[in-house]
Amino acid sequence: MMSTTVPMTERNLAHAEAIRMLKARYFRNMDQRDWEAMIDVFVDDAVMDMRSEMAALAHAGLAVDPQAGLIEGRPAILQAMSSALVGTITVHHGHMGEIDILSDNEAEGIWPMRDVILMPQGSPVRQLRGYGHYHERYRRVAEGEWRIAHLRLSRLLIEWI
């Protein structure tokens, strides 16, 4: 996160709250597989960096490309998310997000996270329990809504069951 932030005025507190609600929708839409609603979570040219995630999954024996995981553009992100979660049941939690408002239209955030992913039948592992952080950049779009512009997941611990 950047070290220079805009002071937390009433307006910036409102921006931070809007970003908290955005992140809550991200988690809920993913777990409920509501890909139509997920469209409003990302900007058109968003980037999702899941390279370390893919390497960890490949290391566990799952059939993924360990070199994949840098996904560019909202359509590609939604396709990758929906394809990766086929046959799984997921529960994602984000906790105590640190949000820096950089300007009226830009912000950054770090979200401690925990997730549980029940893998499809026939997978080499039954369940993944993950702990780590989402590192994100946000942008306000023309409609005034905040959206995710860049997302990177960094895991601190993965428990394979």
Q: Do residues 61 and 73 lie in contact, with contact meaning Cβ atoms separated by under 8 Å?
A: no
Judge whether 2 lies within some domain: no
Residue 5 lies in a domain: no
Encoded amino acid at 106, one letter: E
Backbone angles phi, psi at 6, to 5 degrees: -80, 140
Residue 23 belongs to some domain of the structure: yes
Q: In Å, how far are 99, 111, 123, 147 from 3, measured between CA atoms?
A: 12, 17, 43, 21
> Per the domain annotation, does 55 fall within a domain?
yes
pLDDT string in tens for the chain (161-residue length)? 544 566 779 999 999 999 999 999 999 999 999 999 999 999 999 999 999 888 887 777 777 776 789 999 999 999 999 998 999 999 999 999 999 999 999 999 999 999 999 999 988 889 999 999 999 999 999 989 999 999 999 999 999 89
b/e code 98-113 from CB counts within 10 Å (16+ = b):
ebbbbeeebbbbbbeb
- On whether residue 150 sits in a domain, the answer given is yes
Q: How many structural domains does the chain have?
A: 1
Question: Which residue range forms the structural domain that includes residue 15?
Answer: 10-160
For the domain that residue 55 is a member of, what is the CATH number?
A: 3.10.450.50
Residue 49 lies in a domain: yes
Helix (H) or strand (E) holding 61: none
Report if residue 69 sits inside a domain: yes
